[in-house]
Chains A and B, each alone.
Chain A
Amino acid sequence: MSAPATPAPAQGHELEQSMFWIFVQIAMLLAVITGLELVTVYLPFVKWLLVSVLVVLSTVKFMFVIFYFMHLRWDRVFCTLLFFIGLVLAAATMWALLKLFGAEAGKPLYATMIDPPAIVARIA
């Protein structure tokens, strides 16, 4: 005979309690990471290192929320794939836009007026 689909009341209560503490612990961890982020911006290190640390910390927070609070850890892989398609497209769009507008010829007009490209400076 197969096992019952729903847990016994006592077992269900235990499960509910364990999930409760998991969520509370994750929330506390997220709060601590937020505190770390705040401290990080005031540290006297090189900019690229601080930016990298901030990106890593916010990614960790992001992942904890989507995999635990949003149940992706326990859901079917299809949900993760579906969401990550949007996420990857968004990240790629952001990267492309930042690269595009970061290039010399792609800077907004007022920016090129203040800081002219090398070729314009040479002509002038």
Chain B
Amino acid sequence: MSSDAAAATIDHHFDPTTSTGIPNKKILMWAFLASDCMFFGCLISTHLIYRLHPPPGNPVARQVFSIELTSFSTFILLMSSLMMALAVNAIQKGNLKSMRWSLLTTIFFGCIFLGCQVYEFRNFVYEKHLTITNSILGSTFFTLTGTHGLHVLVGVIWLSGMLLYSFTGRLTEKQAIDVESMGLYWHFVDIVWIVIFTAVYLLEYI
């Protein structure tokens, strides 16, 4: 990354109307994400505690999980993050057409991720007989990944709303912060999955 490129980006983010120079919407989003970190931290801790001390008769997670499907979901979510970053980059340059395509692809990837999660949940419940109420593994697993899935769903709805809004003609380079805030939320969903993928899935295979 050249220093010129970095400097130009910083200038683009500078908001002279606030005392911090940071747009208020961005500060609000970062504060929300910081609080959401603690929320997910507690859910992940709960899952790990009960995995370290499994009760008698608890299902063996390794026999329940499908690492192939989860790895595919992880890849899809990483690619959706790429498309989201490109969408933000496009609107910051005033390229509305490029932003729309990037947003559409992000929505598509988000829907694939959700589809994989629905398939995984159905498989666990009907094939592996793991439900949210019949074991502690089920309770902590479905609560954690379900909460993450809800975040993804909210993100997909938000992205779809923004895509439709872009066709009203009111979304311009000046409103790039709205797309950027949405992007921050979407990337956060991605980083939470990065942690879940390692802490919940991969550690079971060691």
Cβ distance A65 to chain B, nearest Cβ, rounded Å: 5
User: Which residues of the other chain, B, contact A34 by a CB distance below 8 angstroms?
Assistant: 71, 74-75, 78, 197
Q: Which listed residue, B5, B191, B205, touches A18 by the CB 8 Å rule?
A: B5
User: Which residues of the other chain, B, contact A65 by a CB distance below 8 angstroms?
Assistant: 81, 187, 190-191, 194
Q: Given A16-B89, A55-B198, A108-B53, A79–B27 Cβ distance below 8 Å? A: yes
Interface size class of B (residues with CB under 8 A): 35 or more
A76–B20 touching, CB < 8 Å: yes
A101–B8 touching, CB < 8 Å: no
Q: Whole-angstrom distance between the alpha carbons of A19 and B50 in the complex? A: 43
Residues 81-136 (chain B) with a chain A CB within 8 angstroms: 81-82, 84-86, 88-90, 93, 95
A19–B5 touching, CB < 8 Å: yes
A93–B42 touching, CB < 8 Å: yes
Task: Name the residue in A12, A22, A47, A83 with the highest tally of chain B Cβ atoms < 10 Å from its Cβ.
Answer: A83
Q: Which listed residue, A12, A19, A61, A93, touches B45 by the CB 8 Å rule?
A: A93
Is the CB of A114 closer than 8 A to any CB of chain B?
A: yes
Interface string of A24-40 (1 = CB under 8 A from B): 10110011001001101
Cβ distance A53 to chain B, nearest Cβ, rounded Å: 10
Cβ distance A30 to chain B, nearest Cβ, rounded Å: 5
Report whether over half of chain A's contact residues are helix, strand or loop; otherwise say mixed.
helix
Q: Given A27-B81, A93-B45, A20–B13 Cβ distance below 8 Å? A: no
User: Which residues of the other chain, B, contact A18 by a CB distance below 8 angstroms?
Assistant: 1-2, 5
Report whether over half of chain B's contact residues are helix, strand or loop; otherwise say mixed.
helix
- Number of residues of chain A lying within 8 A (CB) of chain B: 61
Q: Whole-angstrom distance between the alpha carbons of A7 and B22 in the complex? A: 21
Cβ distance A38 to chain B, nearest Cβ, rounded Å: 6
User: Which residues of the other chain, A, contact B180 by a CB distance below 8 angstroms?
Assistant: 71
Is the CB of B52 closer than 8 A to any CB of chain A?
A: yes
Cβ distance B3 to chain A, nearest Cβ, rounded Å: 11
Interface string of B58-93 (1 = CB under 8 A from A): 000000000100010011001101101110111001
Q: Which listed residue, A20, A23, A68, A82, touches B30 by the CB 8 Å rule?
A: A82
A58–B9 touching, CB < 8 Å: no
A58–B81 touching, CB < 8 Å: no
Interface string of B161-201 (1 = CB under 8 A from A): 00000000000000000001001100110110011011000
Interface string of A98-114 (1 = CB under 8 A from B): 10011000011011001
A selection of 9 A-B contacts at a CB cut-off of 8 Å is A34-B197, A51-B206, A79-B27, A94-B44, A101-B52, A108-B49, A110-B55, A111-B55, A114-B56
Give 10 closest A-B pairs by Cβ, nearest first: A86-B34, A90-B41, A27-B82, A111-B53, A41-B205, A86-B37, A58-B198, A90-B37, A97-B45, A74-B9
